[in-house]
Structure 1
Amino acid sequence: MSNNKSPLIHTTAAGHDYGSTRPIASTSQDGEAINGQRNVPGFVANNAGMLYIIASQFFFASMNLSVKMLNSLEPPVHAFEVIVVRMGITLICCVTYMIVTGVPNPIIGPRGVRTLLVFRGISGFIGLCGLYLSLQYLSIADATVLTFLTPITTAVTGSLLLREGYSVIQAVAGVFSLLGVILIARPPFLFNHILATNLDGPGTTPAQRLWAVGIAMIGVVGATGAYTSIRAIGKRAHPMHVMTFFSLWCTIMASLGMVIFDIPVVYPRSWRWSLLLLMVGVFGFLAQILLTLGLQRETVSRGSTGVYIQMLFSVVLDRLIFGVVPSLLSVLGAMIIVSSALCVVLTKPVPTHVSTTDSTA
């Protein structure tokens, strides 16, 4: 749980409380724990943040699958255009929802966290670009492994900046989860150094590969800032505010990138092309809102561990859509990831009592 002394989380007070980020233990009228028949709902309530994050990873994997299918069509679509379409759809959905439901300040966000919201949007764009641009010269396996360095870095920033606890169990689970990711991705630079440069793409030079790794590391820094800022914002902003700033800055900066680098716009030429692009936007929206809900309810170190489950979903979708049979190492890696995630969930301390008069900033 977060420490109330963190200046990032409690420096300002917002005019609205958009929901508690702390689980409240369910009790009977006598003050005793509820009976065994209600244990499952209590478990879900106490671990809502982690369950939101796990659900978000399914939609992230579905979005990546849509992007992969989209890239197999002609003509190819530049990453910046994919970002504009995906985040443009997300922006419209977020603003529409807040206007219809009457959420205050749908465009500028609530007072006290606007700077954090802007930082979340810009850092999220950097993280997204780092992943997409690194794929130009890196294999998917290499790029994926590099992005999963983010949970490790966010655990450090959460501890240093937000003063969140980081237990030995969380550290061990994070290390084992990373091991599971490596077993599934099997990056050539670890499993077969000789073939590493050959799998990145035709004509890839060592300098290009070094550039791509550097871009990926910048993406990790951006994703770390995004994860940490979401937790710092907490319940002081509606999840749609967080989503709006992320999608707005991604749309603006990707559009400027297309203009600056003179990237041509590719228009739809078939219904399948349009459908896949729409799926990228819808799946991305659902994934991001679920991730935001999860990170608002979890510590950075614990919540970011849940993103490893995306590798398991990716393996399953590959099998169902493309008929790819996972290898023994992939199965082993998936088992490690699931076991680590369950270990983190089951060892979460549940508060015995939370006073209804307890005030939070």
Structure 2
Amino acid sequence: MLSDPVIDVEASDDSPGNAVSSPPLNPIHRFIASIPEKVPAFGILCALLGVTICVFQFIPYFIITIAKRYPFFGPPGSRLDLFLRCVSGTASLVTLYMAFRLMPLSDAMTLYMSSPVFVTIFAYFILKERITVVHVTTGTITIIGVFIICRPEFLFGHNKHHHKHHYEHRLIGIALSIGAAITSAYSLINLRKLKSTPVPVIVMWYSIAVVVIGNCVLPFLDRWVLPRDLYTWSLLVAIGAAGVVNQMFQTMAFQYESPGPISVTRSFNIVLAFIWEVAIFVEPIAWTSLLGAALITVSIVIIAINKTYKMGRRLVNLMLRKVLTKASKRYR
């Protein structure tokens, strides 16, 4: 496996992090732009997951699991699915963080958000769900969007100076982003099979898996590099805390709203990724990235509308059935 380029903890004056630090950028922007040069991808993973997730996720959910006497290892029939969910979820997180180092943020996030298409494929083979015309259409649109974002040189030519950061291993970043989308989709399939498993048990074991797997991978890649100053630690902890809050709000959203509208709102992450790339990293955005992101977003919206329509029909049919049942009982 090709690992990240070796980067010293102390960035030099001619490092890419400082090359982006033009006079119009303030010190905060300069610091954020230099984080990838100071802390390698797996160093960031170890720091924010080993500290933040352990504190904010594992400890509270461990206490809840013990207090409510949930089965610590999950129900007897779902332990393999719980294990696969933890491994696939961790793999998705690891590959996504590596992709952020090797390609533009917006492209990596767009490819990652194509996971609903892979969910459909896994649902067909694993859950034996039927594939419809909508699934085929959205899958085709997504593949076209991914192809455009990949920008193969035989169609679009080679533009080495498109980004201020030259991404030498961009193809590996693309593969990692798609891998993150696939493993994320497989993780969601396993979550659907864990309906009888208490949520605190799932989150607790996921937190353990992330810390254990992350620390097992680090020695093999020789990337055990931690931040040296409190400010960098605070930023990494803030990233982890934001991720924990994101999971909490997302879980609450699924309790009050159907998956369709939530999928649409999640696709807004693509828009935010483009905004952050321009505002913070001052990276130019290629028209191919915008077109590919637009196609993938359209696919996500179509899938969400289709799911919402199906759920609406089911609710209407259920309500009509109840009304007709009550009416028939009344006139008997």
Report the AA paired with residue 279 of structure 1. Answer: A
The match for 1:253 among 201, 206, 213 is 213
Q: Give the secondary structure class of the aligned counterpart of 1:348.
A: helix
Report the AA paired with residue 42 of structure 2. Answer: F
Does 1:120 find its partner at 2:85? yes
TM, length-normalised to structure 1: 0.60
1:13-28 to structure 2, matched below 5 A, reads none
RMSD of aligned alpha carbons: 4.6
**Identity across matched positions, percent:** 16
- What are structure 1's unaligned runs of at least 5 residues? 1-65, 357-361
User: For the structure 1 residues 203 and 239, does the alpha-carbon distance in structure 2 shift closer, same or farther, using more than 3 Å as the test?
Assistant: closer
The match for 2:267 among 287, 308, 316 is 308
Partner of residue 20, structure 2:
none
1:162-311 to structure 2, matched below 5 A, reads 162-169=127-134, 171-173=136-138, 186-189=149-152, 193-195=156-158, 202=166, 204=168, 211-234=172-195, 236-271=196-231, 273-291=232-250, 307-311=266-270
Report the AA paired with residue 97 of structure 1. Answer: P
Q: Give the secondary structure class of the aligned counterpart of 1:112.
A: helix
Partner of residue 24, structure 1:
none
User: For the structure 1 residues 77 and 325, does the alpha-carbon distance in structure 2 shift closer, same or farther, using more than 3 Å as the test?
Assistant: closer
Shift of 1:157: 0.8
Shift of 1:149: 4.0
- Work out the number of aligned pairs and report it: 284
Q: Which moved more, 1:108-117 or 1:189-198?
A: 189-198
Does 1:85 find its partner at 2:47? yes
Partner of residue 119, structure 2:
154
User: For the structure 1 residues 111 and 283, does the alpha-carbon distance in structure 2 shift closer, same or farther, using more than 3 Å as the test?
Assistant: farther
Q: CA separation in 2, counterparts of 1:324 and 1:199?
A: 9
Shift of 1:281: 0.6
Does 1:94 find its partner at 2:54? no
* CA-to-aligned-CA distance 1:120-172 (integer Å, 9 cap, x gap): 11111222222233444444455344434432221111122113344434554
User: Does the Cα contact within 8 Å between 2:99 and 2:173 map onto a contact in 1?
Assistant: yes
Q: CA separation in 2, counterparts of 1:316 and 1:74?
A: 18
Shift of 1:71: 5.2
Q: Which moved more, 1:114-123 or 1:336-345?
A: 336-345
Report the AA paired with residue 133 of structure 2. Answer: V
* CA-to-aligned-CA distance 1:195-217 (integer Å, 9 cap, x gap): 3555586583xxx5555554444
User: Does the Cα contact within 8 Å between 2:99 and 2:108 map onto a contact in 1?
Assistant: yes
User: Does the Cα contact within 8 Å between 1:81 and 1:254 map onto a contact in 2?
Assistant: no
The match for 2:305 among 320, 329, 343 is 343
Shift of 1:252: 0.8
Report the AA paired with residue 347 of structure 1. Answer: Y
Q: Give the secondary structure class of the aligned counterpart of 1:263.
A: coil
* CA-to-aligned-CA distance 1:14-33 (integer Å, 9 cap, x gap): xxxxxxxxxxxxxxxxxxxx
Report the AA paired with residue 278 of structure 1. Answer: V
User: Does the Cα contact within 8 Å between 2:261 and 2:304 map onto a contact in 1?
Assistant: no
Q: Give the secondary structure class of the aligned counterpart of 1:154.
A: helix
Partner of residue 132, structure 1:
97
Q: CA separation in 2, counterparts of 1:81 and 1:106?
A: 33
Q: CA separation in 2, counterparts of 1:296 and 1:127?
A: 24
User: Does the Cα contact within 8 Å between 1:141 and 1:187 map onto a contact in 2?
Assistant: no
Higher share of residues assigned helix: 2
Q: Give the secondary structure class of the aligned counterpart of 2:77.
A: coil
Shift of 1:320: 6.6
Shift of 1:324: 8.3
Q: Give the secondary structure class of the aligned counterpart of 1:237.
A: coil
Larger Rg: 2
Q: Which moved more, 1:90-99 or 1:248-257?
A: 90-99
User: Does the Cα contact within 8 Å between 1:107 and 1:244 map onto a contact in 2?
Assistant: no
User: Does the Cα contact within 8 Å between 1:120 and 1:226 map onto a contact in 2?
Assistant: yes
User: For the structure 1 residues 312 and 344, does the alpha-carbon distance in structure 2 shift closer, same or farther, using more than 3 Å as the test?
Assistant: farther
Shift of 1:268: 4.0
Q: CA separation in 1, counterparts of 2:83 and 2:272?
A: 31
Q: CA separation in 1, counterparts of 2:129 and 2:31?
A: 40
User: Does the Cα contact within 8 Å between 1:84 and 1:254 map onto a contact in 2?
Assistant: yes
- What are structure 2's unaligned runs of at least 5 residues? 1-27, 323-332
Q: Which has the higher contact order (CA 8 A, sep 6+)?
A: 1
Partner of residue 59, structure 1:
none
Q: CA separation in 2, counterparts of 1:155 and 1:131?
A: 21
Q: CA separation in 2, counterparts of 1:198 and 1:320?
A: 19
Report the AA paired with residue 82 of structure 1. Answer: I
User: Does the Cα contact within 8 Å between 2:43 and 2:225 map onto a contact in 1?
Assistant: yes
